[in-house]
């Protein structure tokens, strides 16, 4: 009896090499994806994953290497060529126009009038078939983040992809939405569609993916079956070092004084499709970490801006830091009162990408660190502060004179968190502390947050990553529709109960400041 010939892989890449100035992003990388396979691409920030994926999608031209598609050598010219071959990609950051309908947004991503024929009916049919129901006539700004992701996926499915690339697809989804997505991806794979899955959520990779390619410093380092490895083992292969859990913090001392109080904070969003804050109240003690969960677009950005002073409250006493009403004070005044803040958007908001790391260190710390003398920047002291951040937070860079845009996302995030933590704030607010960063960088950030709280700071983390919140927080609250639920002790919470609140399932709204966990 003759043995069946092995099936030709859908995609093979051999010796892929891409050099940027000062950076060898891909160094003879190999990747093989079988038909109908869900294949993970793993690696720490800066490992070269993005460059490799952009090569597959025709965005980046490699310097060397061979690509074989369905057994035939090929050069992928551009994204349009990739789409015609049957390659679709769902990016981490959606490319949707909020003022347009679902159907209009999908039409913009289709190549020809023929592709757009009978589009409304096809959207309904395909979205329902795959458990991702969409109303073609809904305007995007009315949709949740999970529904917006459905638009991107359905747009790809309408083109009947043979390979679907997904970049951090669950970073903005509730637990229930994640499970729905997994059902869809498994069905696609069973129908012969291959999926290249990029994620830092290693437990999800273990549950979903049948194979994984792991990259480090631009090279292949391992090919594994994720289910045969623990999360810790996968992470340690990625970063080439032992990964230990954060050191537990000691219990919060009873009677710790409040460091941050919000009292019926109500503000109108300055964004056209933003969410107004409605009667938000809480009390946070020194030494306590409060995790705020929620689906993006439910008022988290507005809460961050109100806390940092970028949006002013209606009354001074709506926000109190260490006993001082600050509701009508701006960011600089709040920093003088030992408030520090890390915004969600690293590029442009947290850092000016064309400035050096030393200059970015100066921007938010010149008040707290006295980096100005007689109206002149103290360059020596500023560079020393930037160098301290780099060393203490293991920021991979050439030094304080490197431009912020030269860093990977995870390294820039470590630098921004370090910049705020080393100012020794009494109140620290971080929006999405580890969004899109690798396991090693996430551990460093978590350690810094916990150490700061152990020193007596009050910390708020706003995150869509429930695993992160459960690891760090003493109490958990949920933002939904501009309301903040009553915080509950983490020990009394479950992923399911928080997930229901995130989906709008009965978030309790309080009208008086909530007491801290020890009260």
Give the CATH fold of the 11-239 domain: Rossmann fold (3.40.50)
**What pLDDT does 320 receive?**
97
86: helix, coil or strand?
coil
Per-residue pLDDT of the chain (519 residues; tens, 9 = 90+): 445 446 899 999 999 999 988 789 999 999 999 999 999 999 987 789 989 999 999 999 999 999 999 999 999 999 999 999 999 998 876 778 888 999 999 998 776 666 667 899 999 999 888 888 889 999 988 887 778 888 988 888 888 899 999 988 887 677 777 888 899 999 999 999 999 999 888 889 999 999 999 999 899 999 999 999 998 899 889 888 777 766 666 666 566 789 999 999 999 998 877 889 999 999 999 999 999 998 877 899 899 999 999 999 999 999 999 999 999 999 999 999 999 999 988 888 899 999 999 999 999 998 888 888 888 998 999 999 999 999 998 888 889 999 998 887 778 989 999 999 999 999 999 998 987 677 777 888 999 999 999 999 999 999 988 888 999 999 999 999 999 999 999 999 988 888 888 876 544 444 445 555 544
SS in 3 state form for 340-407? EEECCCCECCCECCCCEHHHHHHHHHCCCCCCEECCEECHHHHHHHHHHHHHHCCCCCCCCCCEHHHC
What local confidence, expressed as pLDDT, does residue 401 receive?
A: 94
Report the candidate in 43, 22, 409 with the shortest Cα–Cα distance to residue 219.
Answer: 43
**pTM, 2 dp:** 0.74
Structure tokens at 25: 């992003």
DSSP 3-state assignment of 222?
A: strand
Q: Which residues contact 135 (CB under 8 A, 6 or more apart)?
A: 102
* pLDDT of 111: 64
Domain locations in the chain as residue ranges: 11-239, 258-502
Q: Provide the angle, in degrees to the nearest 10, between the axes of the packed helices 145-157 and 119-129.
A: 110
What is the Cα–Cα distance from 44 to 510, expressed in whole angstroms? 41
| HEC letters along 97-144 | CCCCEHHHHHHHCCCCHHHHCCHHHHHHHHHHHCCCCCCCCCEHHHCC
- Dihedral sign computed on CA atoms, order 112, 115, 116, 117: positive
Fold of 258-502: Rossmann fold (3.40.50)
Please give the pLDDT value at position 22.
Answer: 75
Mutual angle of helices 409-421 and 379-392, in 10-degree steps: 120
């Amino acid at each position: 009896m003759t043995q069946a010939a092995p099936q030709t892989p859908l995609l093979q890449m051999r010796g892929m090499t891409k050099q940027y100035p000062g950076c060898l992003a891909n160094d003879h990388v190999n990747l093989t994806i079988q038909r109908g396979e869900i294949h993970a691409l793993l690696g720490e920030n800066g490992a070269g994953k993005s460059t490799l994926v952009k090569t597959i999608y025709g965005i980046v031209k490699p310097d060397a290497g061979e690509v074989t598609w369905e057994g035939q050598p090929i050069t992928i010219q551009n994204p349009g060529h990739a789409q015609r071959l049957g390659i679709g990609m769902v990016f981490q950051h959606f490319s949707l126009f909020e003022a347009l309908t679902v159907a209009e947004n999908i039409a913009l991503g289709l190549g020809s009038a023929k592709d757009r024929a009978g589009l409304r009916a096809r959207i309904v049919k395909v979205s329902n078939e795959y458990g991702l129901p969409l109303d073609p006539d809904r305007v995007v700004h009315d949709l949740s983040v999970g529904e917006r992701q459905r638009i991107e996926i359905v747009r790809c499915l309408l083109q009947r992809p043979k390979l679907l690339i997904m970049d951090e697809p669950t970073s903005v989804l509730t637990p229930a939405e994640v499970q729905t997505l997994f059902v869809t991806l498994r069905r696609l794979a069973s129908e012969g569609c291959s999926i290249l899955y990029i994620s830092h959520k290693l437990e999800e990779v273990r549950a979903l993916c049948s194979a994984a390619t792991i990259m480090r410093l631009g090279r292949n380092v391992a090919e594994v079956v994720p289910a045969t490895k623990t999360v810790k083992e996968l992470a340690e292969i990625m970063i080439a070092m032992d990964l230990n859990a954060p050191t537990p913090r000691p219990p919060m001392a009873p009677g710790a004084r409040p460091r941050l109080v919000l009292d019926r904070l109500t503000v109108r969003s300055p964004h056209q499709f933003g969410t107004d804050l409605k009667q938000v109240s809480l009390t946070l003690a020194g030494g306590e970490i409060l995790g705020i969960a929620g689906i993006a677009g439910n008022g988290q950005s507005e809460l961050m801006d109100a806390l940092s002073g970028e949006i002013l409250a209606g009354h001074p006493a709506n926000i109190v830091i260490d006993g001082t009403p600050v509701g009508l004070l701006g960011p600089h005044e709040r920093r003088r009162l030992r408030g520090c803040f890390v915004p969600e958007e690293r590029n442009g908001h947290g850092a000016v990408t064309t400035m050096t790391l030393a200059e970015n260190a100066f921007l938010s710390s010149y008040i707290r660190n006295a980096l100005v003398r007689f109206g002149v920047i103290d360059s020596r002291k500023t560079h020393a502060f930037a160098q301290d951040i780099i060393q203490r937070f293991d920021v991979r860079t050439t030094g304080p004179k490197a431009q912020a845009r030269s860093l990977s996302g995870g390294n820039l995030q470590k630098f921004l968190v370090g910049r705020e933590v080393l100012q020794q704030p009494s109140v620290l607010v971080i929006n999405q502390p580890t969004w899109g960063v690798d396991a090693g960088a996430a551990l460093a950030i978590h350690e810094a947050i916990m150490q700061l709280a152990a020193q007596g700071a009050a910390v708020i983390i706003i995150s869509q990553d429930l695993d992160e919140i459960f690891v760090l927080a003493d109490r958990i609250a949920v933002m939904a529709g501009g309301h903040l639920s009553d915080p509950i002790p983490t020990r009394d919470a479950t992923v399911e109960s928080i997930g229901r609140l995130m989906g709008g399932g009965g978030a309790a709204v309080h009208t008086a400041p909530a007491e801290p966990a020890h009260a």
